[in-house]
A and B are shown apart, each in its own frame.
Chain A
């Protein structure tokens, strides 16, 4: 079992470019969560997706950020027109079930470190 795979591990972008972060959940997991860790802060929830559906995007910034989890392929977190403040570690987690119990079976990836120059 390969675990939750995130790529790239490190991503460098210039201001104004687009960043695409990928997350492949564990085999059999259909629930994906994205978290962001800004410097000197804890992880902050961004969005919760199931296959082809956004369930909870209450933590997503209103502009420039979007997420998808298509029927086939990885989940993608997309940041358009990046700014320096987007520099952070972005973590993906997956689980096989929904609801409060899902946190018992929540597995995290190693994260993508985004650096905006």
Chain B
């Protein structure tokens, strides 16, 4: 079955540290991959997406993600995190199913001052 795995459940970083959150997907065909962020008390927002083309995707707020087909991975990165990046981050895919997303379990990021 199609699945998305996020291995880091809770990450604590100091401001200015670099961030990498792991995401692996299981489907081997055409992929549509997403990262969403949920700030405390707010709705899910799209950070970035990959459908095709350049495997290094730039998103909002300085985030980027790299699609590595051979590793079935789509890790999220940010060179220098800020306290305001404290949130929950969800990886998702829409592989082969037009109407629904499959989400990972999420990674809670806590950035300390």
**Alpha-carbon gap, A85 to B102, bound state (A):** 21
**Alpha-carbon gap, A66 to B19, bound state (A):** 41
Output the nearest chain B residue to A110 by Cβ-Cβ distance. B43
Residues of A close to B90: CB separation below 8 A: 42-43
Residues of A close to B102: CB separation below 8 A: 42, 45
Residues of A close to B36: CB separation below 8 A: 108
Stretch at the interface among A14-22, A71-79, A98-106: A98-106
B contact face: mostly helix, strand, loop, or mixed: loop
Number of interface residues of A (CB under 8 A): 29
Against B, the Cβ 8 Å flags (1 = close, 0 = not) of A23-50 are 0000000000101000011111100100
B73 → chain A closest CB, angstroms: 17
A contact face: mostly helix, strand, loop, or mixed: mixed
27 contacts between A and B (CB under 8 A): A3-B43, A4-B43, A33-B99, A35-B101, A35-B103, A40-B105, A41-B105, A42-B103, A42-B104, A43-B103, A44-B103, A45-B100, A45-B101, A45-B102, A55-B99, A56-B99, A91-B43, A98-B98, A99-B99, A102-B99, A103-B49, A103-B101, A104-B49, A108-B43, A108-B45, A109-B43, A110-B41
B interface residues, Cβ below 8 angstroms from A: 4, 6, 32, 34, 36, 41-46, 49, 90, 92, 94, 98-106
Q: Contacts A100-B94, A108-B45 given; 6 further ones with Cβ under 8 A?
A: A40-B105, A42-B90, A43-B103, A56-B100, A58-B100, A111-B43
